Amino acid sequence: MNFTRAEERRFAPERVRLPLVALIDVVMLLLIYFVLAGSLTPEETELPASLRTEKAGGKASDLLPQILIVEPGGGGAAAQFRIGERVLSDRAALASILKQLPKEAGVAVKVRPGVDVAAAAAALQACSDGGFTKVSYVPAK
């Protein structure tokens, strides 16, 4: 004889089972993720410092790179190279001027629209010939 009501039998413990296996799997995956994520990141003491401590002060030329602008030549001529107020038309003269400039900050080569690839490559090669190791290329927009 069964003295329980039909409603109570529907919610009996043998019928209501929570899927604990899925919950345990999710908890284990989260645990593994956090353990691996914490062990793969380098410690902050091992990160390289980008600040220089040997100098107390600096000059303005240490902060800003030289800017070389490559623009199309006037009247269908070859490209022109502009550094400040100086306008040059050949790569040899450009390399000789670049040798005289400070090298620590590097050089940024900005190429204006309408300049062919050969002139941009000549400017980059002149920077390399001038002794610059930090060369940034800024294409036209």
Residue 49 falls within a domain, yes or no?
Answer: no
Residue 55 falls within a domain, yes or no?
Answer: no
Rounded Cα–Cα distance for residues 129 and 92 (Å)? 9
- Domain containing 124 equals 60-138
CATH, residue 121: 3.30.420
CA neighbor of 108 nearest in space, from 135, 74, 76, 72: 135
The answer to whether residues 34 and 66 belong to one domain is no
The answer to whether residues 91 and 30 belong to one domain is no
Domain count, the chain: 2
**Quick check: helix, strand or coil at residue 87?**
strand
The answer to whether residues 71 and 126 belong to one domain is yes
Per-residue confidence in pLDDT tens, the chain, 141 aa? 566 666 655 655 565 566 788 889 999 999 999 988 877 766 665 555 555 555 555 555 456 778 889 988 776 667 889 988 888 888 888 888 888 888 888 888 999 888 888 888 888 899 888 888 888 888 877
Residue 107 falls within a domain, yes or no?
Answer: yes
DSSP per residue, 13-71: TTT----HHHHHHHHHHHHHHHHHHHHHSPPGGGSPP----S-S---HHHHS-EEEEEE
Give the neighbor-by-neighbor strand order of the sheet with 66-71. Answer: 86-88, 80-83, 66-71, 107-111, 135-138
Rounded Cα–Cα distance for residues 127 and 113 (Å)? 20
